[in-house]
Amino acid sequence: MLFEALALVTSITNALGVTLIARGMRGAKPIVAAFYSVAIQTVILVALLLTRMPQLNLLAVGYFALGGVLSLGVARLLNFVAMRGLGVAKTSALIGSSPVITTLLSIAIISESPDLATFAGAATVALGVALISGATGFRIERALLVGLASALAYSLSNIASKSGVLLQPDPFLSATTGAVAGLAFISAYLAATGQTRDLGIGRQSLACFAATGVLSSVGWLAMMAALETGPVSVVTTIVYSYPLFALITTRLLMREEKLTTRTIAGSTLVVLGVAIVTLL
């Protein structure tokens, strides 16, 4: 069906995006990768929004901006930092747990009643993360904690954006406002830490980051179109299957990254856990 195909497009663009970022970061810092990818995404979304400017609810815009800072600012930066330490496949699988974390946070924050499927999905994701990490005993890699912090920031962003959508149901405005806020956060961070001089990068890295920004925009628009005609549970499950596609794109485009049995099994369990939570 059409909505399933559109959701699949988003999943594939996500996988391609993180792989391209990993290639581009061979010659640039994670913060620089975040800046260029978010900048391109912001330009595209703002240009599209200008064709249909809506009435603004300022409180909703505030929630959208907070969601953008958390997602495109904090979470994306942590995501890229984790990617340098863990690789594309492991980091993508960790980020794939975001829907489950969001569900658990929603239970805590708005007092929703958890069901058996929620607990089963969370347990499945936890097992997947344990396999992916490769940690033994109580030793956990710092990069793993950074990756989990990124997933948490993405989840908090989802809650902030949802609060905004309840006030003004305009996902297009939400994404564009979030992109602008995320870019502003990253720019301020670069200036405050004196890293603006690092923005001078090679053509190959710049091309990878720009392509990621384009892919992010295409993937988001495809997901919005999918949500117009398809059940959100099915669309979300397909979108967050991208860790499995990341395994494929990583193998094809970055042959030096090792994909172990534990990584593959863990990625599969993370996606399975997401499916349990969203479909049951």
- Report d(CA 37, CA 59) in Å as an integer: 27
Q: How many domains is the chain partitioned into structurally? A: 1
Question: How many other C-beta atoms can be found within 10 angstroms of the C-beta atom of residue 273?
Answer: 25
Q: Give the Cα separation of 178 and 161 in Å (integer).
A: 9
Average pLDDT value over all residues in the chain: 81
What per-residue confidence (pLDDT) applies to 140?
64
Q: How far apart are CA 46 and CA 180, in angstroms?
A: 8
pLDDT of residue 138: 45
Residue range 115-127, pLDDT digits in tens: 777 778 777 877 7
Token readout for 69 is 């800072």
What is the structure's pLDDT at 250?
Answer: 74
Q: How far apart are CA 129 and CA 25, in angstroms?
A: 24
Distance separating alpha carbons of residues 201 and 41, to the nearest angstrom: 19
Residues 40, 180 contacting (CB under 8 angstroms): no
Helices (H), 69-115: 76-86, 88-95, 98-110
Q: Which of 63, 61, 66, 21 is nearest to 41 (CA)?
A: 21
Residue type, 140: I
What does the block give as tokens for 266? 């863990």
Confidence category of residue 70, pLDDT binned at 50, 70, 90 = very high
pLDDT of residue 255: 65
Q: Which domain holds residue 274?
A: 2-279
* Closest among 156, 187, 176, 205 to 31, alpha carbons compared: 187
Lowest mean pLDDT among 29-38, 79-88, 150-159: 79-88
Closest CA to 105 of 163, 167, 38: 163
